[in-house]
Amino acid sequence: MSYDSPEQLGAFADEHDVTYDLLSDADSAVIREFGILNTLISPDDPEQAAGRSFYGVPFPGVYVTDENGVVTEKFFHRHYATRESAGTIRNSVLGGILARHAAPAVELGTDQVRISAFLSDRAMQFETQSTIHVRFELEEGLHMYGRPLPEGYIASEVTVPDTPGLRVGTVQYPPTHPREFPQLGVTLNVYEGVVDVAIPVTPNVEVFHRSNPDRPEVVDLPLSVLYQVCSETICYTPRTETLSLAAPFQPLLTPGAARRAR
């Protein structure tokens, strides 16, 4: 749905070979009815002069409904150009992570745990928020710690170093469960089995000015993973692992370039 006129939408559809219906919301009536008019864009603010043509657009977002038309989830962003990736929406709606055989992935392992990192989508897109999933697969009978913890214990942690062209969101850790350790006289928050950590990442304008001219079609996603694996009787040495996930980056194409590529 767009606030553009039917004529503008028709021209856009012809230019970009859009084969599905585009809805014209004259004067942003439906946008206002839904309460999602982008209030960050003002028609009167002189500093918004360059963006006046955008007045009337909604905050960008996606509603997910069930078979009865009831909204079950929604994904919205403040900036009019930012979107949620299809893979991120799909995994959230499914309540789990779909098989990643078609997505970029990297992995390493020890005798106690296998660690893998993979992207929610086949490729990253400009100003589209994808998700990096870091998965720990612990051997049976082993556990790792999660926050909050008493002093002296090491919580599992995943970080993404500052990377030009990449905006990193808040790391999302799964729920821990409390486990009693009678010999230590404490109850600690632990992870067991398969543990999935999610990191929202969005390529921004700096992605076009990276210092990798030999591979402009790839965004290198560095990851640092801190963890300590323990059994009932022993805690192994804490480890910090570094992974680098090479994610394809889908470049921006002009309509003419898109036609030439087909």
Domain count, the chain: 2
- Residue 252: band (very low, low, confident or very high) from pLDDT cuts 50, 70, 90: low
pTM of this prediction? 0.77
Q: Are residues 52 and 151 in the same domain?
A: no
CATH number for the domain spanning 174: value is 2.60.40.1250
Domain that holds residue 125: 105-250
C-alpha–C-alpha distance, residues 262 and 121, integer Å: 22
- Residue 9: band (very low, low, confident or very high) from pLDDT cuts 50, 70, 90: very high
In 3D, which of 252, 243, 246, 251 has the Cα closest to residue 114?
Answer: 243
**Cβ atoms < 10 Å from Cβ of 180:** 10
* In-domain check, residue 257: no
Q: Are residues 68 and 133 in the same domain?
A: no
* In-domain check, residue 175: yes
According to the model, what pLDDT value does residue 199 have? 94
Domain limit, last residue, from 63, 95, 127: 95
Strand locations in 94-160, DSSP E? 105-109, 113-119, 124-125, 128-138, 144-145, 157-159
Q: Are residues 124 and 195 in the same domain?
A: yes
According to the model, what pLDDT value does residue 51 have? 47
User: Residues 33-90: pLDDT tens digits?
Assistant: 999 988 887 777 555 555 456 788 888 888 999 899 999 989 888 877 788 888 888 8
Nearest 5°: phi and psi at 165? 90, 0
Q: Are residues 51 and 179 in the same domain?
A: no
User: Residues 148-193: pLDDT tens digits?
Assistant: 999 889 999 999 988 888 899 999 999 999 999 888 888 999 999 9
